[in-house]
Amino acid sequence: MENTLEIINQRTEWFREARFGMFIHWGLYSILGKGEWIRSHQKLSIEDYQPYFEAFNPTKYNPRDWAKAAKCAGMKYVVLTAKHHDGFCLFDSAFTEYKSTNTPIGRDLVKEFVEAVREEGLKVGLYFSLIDWYHKDFPKFGDLNHPMRDNSAFKDEVIDFDNYLTFMHNQVEEIVTKYGKLDILWFDYSYEEMFGEKWRATELIKMVRKHQPDVIVDNRLETSGEGFGSIVTDHINLYSGDFVSPEQIVPHEGIRNYKGEFIPWELCLTMNNNWAYNPTDTLYKPSKVLIRKLVECVSKNGNMILNVGPDALGVINEESMSILDDFSSWMNKNSESIYGNGYAELPKPEWGYYTQKGNVIYAHVLEQPIGPLALIGLSEDNIKRMSFVHDGSEVKISKSWTTNAYEGICFAQYGEVPHFTYPLPCSVDSVIKIELRGTDDEN
């Protein structure tokens, strides 16, 4: 078994076609409503946190609603936190009692989730935390993040970390064998000396690939949102993962390896500033910004996975649904400029972004032009036809006295009078489809 960029590109072909997914952070922490790190941030003991285990009863949980919302927004895959750092499992694990089937809801919520996502025709992924703040053999005192990291009662505690790793591997084997074909396995995360073989990562990934040979894996067996890992180097580890996972930042020029070749990557980001439900966090990014971030990611050969944090009852809140509705409106008209698109070998235009799919370039016009639009990098001779994606209306090559001085620059106009300024049809992103002359076109 080996890992090469060629193998990675083969494995991620559907992923790079899909471009857009939904992340779902949901668990006991959704009851507290202060984010998924609340145990660590407030140094809550297992006892402090136990009332939430005993109360967990998401009576409005219906993963079909989640899957429909994702599909409607134009998302092609959905990833759910099967287990986050608190160690609570949304699945019926045989290796712990700390699971949803032992709470008042009494159900295997992952089973229902994967079935619902597949029923909507979407790809399905599970997030799995390498970290487990509930397990007795996970490092506590002096750990970077553990809720008991400063508690001297744990200073001389003797743990059996190998036993923890066996437990962790067993749980991973459960989720890759009990829930059908998984499309994405999203590990999180490595830090300090806790990376790579510290997790027995080679053994782990060999087991995963034995059961799920086509599943794609993120890069966090090696790193976190802070790094890229061996996937960008000349020695790609078996557990490098298949995509880099930049977090809350769009890499300014995408992500390339040491040779300058694009590497699959996926921006993971939140709508507000919390992954899990937090009603006090009202700083939602405008949908216009988020839609433009998706376009930016695709223009740089990347994906975007946008997170929602359902509440303790299992409901995605109104602010998040409103954003998803706006994605739906824009994607319904323009998704051909996203799916299967990637980097166009052109200079980035001042007014927005180019994406490209085969012989078609899409001009994503975010900024209102004065008069015709300069299509820098494109030659009139190469253009067969242009039209707006949203309604198919013609966009012409502009011949105007205002552009005569700029030789060699191709201009597009979308109104009758060449030198007039016409409002862009869409204030979020007006997309012009530019069909290039192919080799089979008559001259």
Nearer to ligand GLC, 269 or 412 (CB): 269
Closest CA to 70 of 12, 120, 30, 104: 120
Q: CB burial class (10 A; 0-12, 13-18, 19+) of residue 160?
A: exposed
Residue 47 Cβ vs ligand GLC, minimum distance, rounded to whole Å = 22
Q: What are phi and psi of 10, to 5 degrees?
A: -65, -45
227 binds ligand GLC (CB under 6 A): no
Residue 209 Cβ vs ligand GLC, minimum distance, rounded to whole Å = 22
- Please give, one letter per residue, the 3-state secondary structure of 19-35: CEEEEECCCCHHHHCCC
Q: What are phi and psi of 67, to 5 degrees?
A: -65, -40
174 binds ligand GLC (CB under 6 A): no
Residue 211 Cβ vs ligand GLC, minimum distance, rounded to whole Å = 23
Amino acid identity for residue 211 in this structure = H
Nearer to ligand GLC, 167 or 189 (CB): 189
Give the other-Cβ count within 10 Å of 330's Cβ.
23
Nearer to ligand GLC, 37 or 134 (CB): 37
Closest CA to 308 of 276, 278, 282, 330: 276
Nearer to ligand GLC, 266 or 429 (CB): 266
Nearer to ligand GLC, 39 or 99 (CB): 39
120 binds ligand GLC (CB under 6 A): no
188 binds ligand GLC (CB under 6 A): yes
The secondary structure element, H or E, covering residue 386 is strand 383-388
Residue 241 Cβ vs ligand GLC, minimum distance, rounded to whole Å = 13
Q: State which residue has the least CB distance to ligand GLC.
A: 268
Contact 359, 436 (CB under 8 A): yes
How many residues comprise the chain?
A: 443
Strands 360-365, 430-436: pairing is antiparallel
86 binds ligand GLC (CB under 6 A): no
**What is the Cα–Cα distance from 176 to 163, expressed in whole angstroms?**
20
Residue 280 Cβ vs ligand GLC, minimum distance, rounded to whole Å = 17
Q: Kindly list the distances between the CA atom of residue 38 and the CA atoms of 84, 105, 220, in Å, as whole numbers in the listed order.
A: 12, 22, 21
Nearer to ligand GLC, 225 or 251 (CB): 225
Size of the site for ligand GLC (CB under 6 A): 9
Residue with tokens 């297992």: 46
Nearer to ligand GLC, 273 or 382 (CB): 273
**Cα angle 417, 423, 424; round to 5:** 110
Residue 245 Cβ vs ligand GLC, minimum distance, rounded to whole Å = 6
Residue 199 Cβ vs ligand GLC, minimum distance, rounded to whole Å = 16
189 binds ligand GLC (CB under 6 A): yes
Nearer to ligand GLC, 123 or 433 (CB): 123
User: Across the strands, what pairs with 307?
Assistant: 23, 270
Residue 397 Cβ vs ligand GLC, minimum distance, rounded to whole Å = 44
Closest CA to 110 of 48, 32, 170, 176: 176
Contact 363, 337 (CB under 8 A): no
Residue 24 Cβ vs ligand GLC, minimum distance, rounded to whole Å = 10
Amino acid identity for residue 383 in this structure = I
Q: How far apart are the first and last CA of the chain?
A: 49
Nearer to ligand GLC, 19 or 25 (CB): 25
Nearer to ligand GLC, 108 or 188 (CB): 188
- C-alpha of 363 from chain center: 23
36 binds ligand GLC (CB under 6 A): yes
Residue 432 Cβ vs ligand GLC, minimum distance, rounded to whole Å = 34
Contact positions with ligand GLC (CB under 6 A) in 259-298: 268, 275
Nearer to ligand GLC, 215 or 268 (CB): 268
Residue from 65, 247, 319, 336 that binds ligand GLC (CB under 6 A)?
Answer: 247
Indicate the SS3 state at residue 288. helix
Residue 195 Cβ vs ligand GLC, minimum distance, rounded to whole Å = 14
**What is the Cα–Cα distance from 217 to 208, expressed in whole angstroms?**
10
Binding site for ligand GLC (CB under 6 A): 25, 36-37, 188-189, 225, 247, 268, 275
